C-alpha cells in the first residue's frame, strides 16, 4: 500500500507571497492532519480534516488554512508569508476509526521563506 505523499518536497518563496502544499493520504484513510516542525519546537499541530470538514484546529493565525477533497486529498495554504513560516510541513493520515488511532506521516514539504 502506498504511503502518504506530499508535494512539492521543497519550496522557496519570498515574504508576502502565498503557497499551497498538497497531501495525498494512504488509501482508505479519511483523516488528514497537518503539522509544522521547526527546530526546538517539535511538531506543532495546525489542523485536522475528516470527510472534507475541519475537525480540529491548532493555535496558528488565520493565514494558515486548509481544505480536504472528496477523495481525502488535502491542501494547506499559507498566505502573506513571513520569514518565521520557514519550516518543514508534515501531513499525516489515519483511518480515524475505532478508539485508538495511529497517524502515518508523509516525508514533508520543506518551505523556505526569503
**List of residues contacting other proteins (CB under 8 A):** 4, 6, 31, 33, 35, 40-45, 48, 50, 55-56, 58, 90, 92, 94, 96, 99-108
Burial of 73 (0-12, 13-18, 19+ CB in 10 A): middle
Q: Which is nearer to other proteins, 6 or 72 (CB)?
A: 6
Q: Minimum distance between the CB of residue 100 and other proteins, rounded to whole angstroms?
A: 5
Q: Which is nearer to other proteins, 15 or 47 (CB)?
A: 47
Q: Of the two residues 45 and 60, which places its CB atom closer to other proteins in the complex?
A: 45
**Residue bearing cell 475537525:** 55
For residue 36, CA distances in Å to 27, 61, 89, 111 come to: 23, 13, 5, 10
In angstroms, give the least distance from the CB of 92 to other proteins: 8
Q: For Cα atoms 73, 83, 93, give the angle at the middle one, nearest 5 degrees.
A: 20
Provide, rounded to whole angstroms, the least separation between the CB of residue 78 and other proteins: 19
Dist. CA 112–CA 55, nearest whole Å: 28
Q: Which is nearer to other proteins, 24 or 33 (CB)?
A: 33
Amino acid at each position: 500500500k502506498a504511503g502518504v505523499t506530499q508535494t512539492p518536497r521543497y519550496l522557496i518563496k519570498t515574504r508576502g507571497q502565498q503557497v499551497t502544499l498538497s497531501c495525498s493520504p494512504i488509501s482508505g484513510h479519511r483523516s488528514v492532519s497537518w503539522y509544522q516542525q521547526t527546530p526546538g519546537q517539535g511538531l506543532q499541530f495546525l489542523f485536522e480534516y475528516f470527510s472534507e470538514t475541519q475537525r480540529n484546529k491548532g493555535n496558528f493565525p488565520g493565514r494558515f488554512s486548509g481544505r480536504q477533497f472528496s477523495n481525502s486529498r488535502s491542501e494547506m495554504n499559507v498566505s502573506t508569508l513571513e520569514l518565521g513560516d520557514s519550516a518543514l510541513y508534515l501531513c499525516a493520515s489515519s483511518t480515524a476509526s475505532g478508539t485508538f488511532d495511529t497517524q502515518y506521516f508523509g516525508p514533508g514539504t520543506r518551505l523556505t521563506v526569503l
